[in-house]
């Protein structure tokens, strides 16, 4: 296959976005939340867990703990028990308490609106910060690179990198800034519904004509 120019890749990416928008007109963050704090907590909980598992746990959790102060002052054993249905619950309980203590000390209990401030918080990396900024505040700070975005970006030939931050840099060059948050939703939705990790459904795939991996993944 001849080497694709950057401009050609950019216009192919744009066509991928258009088709995925048609396929998934309602693509959105599938974690349930009502406030930036709830989304921050849900995203911390989502590491190595499905959104479905997180939503089950947070349905009760957010009724019990309503503010950063509630989480920061939670009894450690009780919070662990409230999170027990989720993997890595001890680490996550520790991160949530530390994160919410810092929110109280440095941000009056509110979730900050900048990448620099968010990634200073316990349990918050670039991916979590991008989720919160993009979905709670409508700020396109970057592209969320989770397991689906990483897999699809590679299959679609949009990156050769494996490290999330390098993948994100490649995607930021190909997608216009105003669509960064939506683009990650579209890839995540397509990854969950069509381009599965094992046995992707290439035959019914809406972007098969734009994909160099069509029919090549087992």
CA 15/CA 9 separation, integer angstroms: 10
State yes or no: is 7 an active-site residue. Answer: no
Residues 131-160 that bind ligand SF4 (CB under 6 A): 155-156
Q: Minimum Å distance from CB 205 to ligand SF4?
A: 3
| Cα–Cα dist 213/201, whole Å | 12
CA separation, residue 129 to residues 16, 86, 101, 192 (Å) = 25, 21, 17, 22
What CA–CA distance (Å, rounded) separates 40 from 128? 7
Choose the catalytic residue: 127, 160, 199, 216: 127
CB of 195 to ligand SF4, least distance (A): 3
Stretch of 21-29, 39-47, 78-86, 197-205 contacting ligand SF4, by CB under 6 A: 197-205
- Which of the residues 73 through 132 are near ligand SF4 (CB under 6 A)? none
Q: Which is nearer to ligand SF4, 23 or 122 (CB)?
A: 23
Q: How many Cβ atoms sit within 10 Å of the Cβ of residue 198?
A: 6
As a whole number of angstroms, the distance between CA 45 and CA 95 comes to: 10
- Based on the residue annotation, tell me whether 201 is a catalytic residue of this protein: no
Residue positions annotated with a catalytic role: 127, 146
**Contact positions vs ligand SF4 (CB under 6 A):** 155-156, 194-195, 200-202, 205, 207-208, 211, 213-214, 217
């Amino acid at each position: 296959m001849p080497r694709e120019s950057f401009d050609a890749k950019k216009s192919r990416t744009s066509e991928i976005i258009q088709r995925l928008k048609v396929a998934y007109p309602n693509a959105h963050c599938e974690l349930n939340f009502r406030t930036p704090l709830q989304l921050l907590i849900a995203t911390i909980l989502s590491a190595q867990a499905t959104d479905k598992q997180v939503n089950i746990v947070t349905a009760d959790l957010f009724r019990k703990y309503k503010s950063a102060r509630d989480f920061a002052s939670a009894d450690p054993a009780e919070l662990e028990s409230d999170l027990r249905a989720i993997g890595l619950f001890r680490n996550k309980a520790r991160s949530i308490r530390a994160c919410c203590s810092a929110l109280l000390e440095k941000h009056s209990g509110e979730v900050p609106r900048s990448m620099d401030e968010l990634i200073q918080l316990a349990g918050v990396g670039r991916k979590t910060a991008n989720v919160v900024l993009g979905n709670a505040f409508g700020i396109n700070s970057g592209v969320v690179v989770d397991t689906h975005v990483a897999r699809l970006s590679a299959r679609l030939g949009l990156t050769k990198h494996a490290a999330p931050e390098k993948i994100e840099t490649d995607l930021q060059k190909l997608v216009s800034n105003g669509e960064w948050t939506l683009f990650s939703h579209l890839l995540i939705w397509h990854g969950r519904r069509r381009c599965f990790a094992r046995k992707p459904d290439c035959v019914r795939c809406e972007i098969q004509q734009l994909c160099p991996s069509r029919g090549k993944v087992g």
